[in-house]
Structure formats: structure tokens, C-alpha cells
Amino acid sequence: MTQPAVSNLDLDLDAAGLFTPIEVKSLKLRNRFAMAPMTRAFSPGGVPRENVAEYYRKRAAGGTSLIITEGTLIPDPAAGPDSRVPHIHGDESLEGWKGVVDAVHAEGSAIIPQLWHLGVERGATPRFNPDVVTVSPSGIALDGSPVGRAFTDADLEEQKQIWVDAAVNAKETGFDGVELHGAHGYLLDEFLWEQTNTREDGYGGSLEARTRFPAEVVAAIRAAVGQEFAIVYRFSQWKSGHYDARLAQTPQQLERILAPLVDAGVDVLHPSTRRHWEPAFPELSGVEGERGLAGWTKSITGLPTITVGSVGLDQVFTGAWGKNSTAATTSLDPLLAQFARGEFDIVAVGRALLSDPEWVNKVQQGRLDDRIPFAREHITSLN
């Protein structure tokens, strides 16, 4: 689906507003551009080294004011499937992250790690810790098949502490906040989605019950890191391989999901979409039927929101990791129109920054024709 033409021809589509500062507790940003989290598995043994520090430093030097790192595995042996994904625990990994943080800070940008547990998406035969059983809310994969086992009550208490330990590690390492990965069918999202959460205790059933565990994780982290350390929460309607999935069928249902997270201590919400310009509830009429998921999230909660999804590119990310995948650059007018309507506060840029570390500076300088199109080789490159 291509980006729509901007309907209001009188709208001033000046990008200057995206280059104004914003401050949310410990996050102090010089502009509204963030780097979206993208896993590349370039940290053997879970340790980010000099090449990872240089990779993020280049994007900070290129104008991106907030780096959201690739997913970092929290200290649970069942958190992930790949030994090359960085950890947010262990002395060597944390020392490696300290080098990354210092390199990004030296360029005047902020950086937060994305805390990640794949839950059932780790699979039944992971390469990393293959002897550890995969765990999830109900032991049910996204396709409905049984995988691993369900959490016990004792597991849930231990799991909350694991998330807290990861967040405290991030704060002590010098990060400017944390993002919890609660999207795309991973662990926290598996609690929210009724297909993967069939629990019959207080953590399953209604929307509020399914939100209970993610909210308890947020509240526990908030108690451990204090009031001024920023907590970002990423969520999505879609799931990996299930792009038509919807947690919320209506704005009212979305409010029932988000309210407990906000009450628990979330500071910024990061609704993940595949196309930032798509309406969240297109069945509604008028302006409400045109509003994106970030716009609805901001309207419902009043919190700052991050929009994301194929920013500056003409193809969605599906298949982006596949052989010969490419995407051409495209107009930013739909993004600027959304910003002018107040639908988001920060925009996360993904593949465009993989291919072009200077992307944000080029936008600020009006050098849109100099942007570099995306190609798969930019994922596998060490740059």
C-alpha cells in the first residue's frame, strides 16, 4: 500500500518542527528523530563490542537524537534463541554497552536499550541454551500450536524480578532510559493477545486481566529505577506473521489496554506499525477514521508517542531481511502532515538509517535527493 497524498493542500509541510527539542524525564533530545530498534545479531556471546559502538555512534553523529538499541536479552536463559544477540546482563556485556553509551553520548545523543524476551517466539529448538525449555503465558505459539510450557505463579514472580534486574543494569550502565519490547508477539505481547493467553487465573480473560502482567512489570521497574528514569513501552496490533491481528478492535478497547500501563509508570508509548500513515481504525468516519495508531495512543493517554513504520521508504519491512530486498526513498509529506496534526512527538526511523547514517542531517539540510535507498546489504554490513 502506497502512502496517501496529503489531503490538506494548505498545510505547511515544513520539517522544522521535527528539529525542536523535547524532554521527557531523563530523556533530553535535541530533535524528534529516534533510531528504531533493529536486531542484527552482531554481538557474539551477547557482548556488544567496538563495531557496535561505532555503528550507533555514526547514527548519533548523523543527527539522530535518540538511539533505541536492538533488542537486548534480559537475564533469563529462555529469553532468546540466538547467541549473537546482545545481553543486558553480565559484566562483559554491560562493559560493552558502557562503551556504546559513551560513544553515543559523545555525539550529543541519548540512548536507551530495548529490553527483550521472546517468550514462545524463541521456538522449540533454539540455538541458544537449547536445553532450556521455552516459556510463555500459556505454552501456545502464535499459530496456536503447543510450544514449551506455561508460566507458573512462581515463574511470574521471578520473571518480574528479571525485568527489573535488566532495567537496573541499564540505569547503572549509563543509559538514558529503557524501552520494554511489548510488541510483535513477543513475551509481554503474548499476555495481551487472546490467541496466546488462555490463562484462567488473574492474568487471563478480560483485556484488563491480560494487561495485568505487563503492567506489573512496569510498576516493578518504576519502583526500582525511581520516578525520573524514563520508561518507554512498545506495543503493536500486529504480530509476526499475523499482520491482520488486532489487540483492540475499537479506541475504547485500546484505552482499556493502555490505561493500566500508564498508571503503572510508562512515560512514552511506542506503537509499532508497518506503515506509519495507515489509520488505526479505518472503519470510523471523518478525522477519526484517518488517525494513525500513534495519534490514537496520544489522544487516549496524553503521553508522548513515537510513530514508526516504513518512514521515508516505499516498501514495508516484510521480507527486508530476505535476499535482494530493497526499498526506494519516498516523500516525507504524510509524516509531516501527521506531525502537524499533533499525532506524534517523536518519529523512529529504521531501515532508512541502516542504509544512511546521515539521514537525519540530510532531512534537516533539505538534501532529500541525497538520501540512500535501502538494500539488504546494509543489514549485514558492519557499518
Instruction: List residues with catalytic annotation.
Output: 186
Residues contacting 169, CB < 8 A, separation 6+: 75, 88, 89, 94
The burial class, CB within 10 Å (0-12 / 13-18 / 19+), for 253 is middle
User: How far, in Å, CA of 39 to CA of 49, rounded?
Assistant: 15
Helix or strand or coil: residue 91? Answer: helix
CA 189, 192, 195, 201 torsion-angle sign = positive
Nearest CA among 102, 122, 227 for reference residue 185: 122
The burial class, CB within 10 Å (0-12 / 13-18 / 19+), for 279 is middle
Helix axes 293-301, 251-264, angle to 10 degrees: 60
Cα end-to-end distance, the chain, whole Å = 30
8 Å CB contact between 76 and 126: no
Q: Which residues pair with 34 in a beta bridge?
A: 66, 348
Instruction: Write the DSSP string, 74-90.
Output: -S-TTS-S-TTSPBS-S
The burial class, CB within 10 Å (0-12 / 13-18 / 19+), for 90 is middle
User: How far, in Å, CA of 371 to CA of 218, rounded?
Assistant: 38
Backbone dihedral region for residue 63 (phi beyond 0: left; psi -120 to 50: alpha; all else: beta): left
Going by their DSSP bridges, the two strands 326-327 and 27-29 should be labelled as unpaired
Sheet strands (E) in 74-144: 110-116, 135-136
Buried b (16+ CB within 10 A) or exposed e, 37-56: bbbbebbeebbbbeebbebb
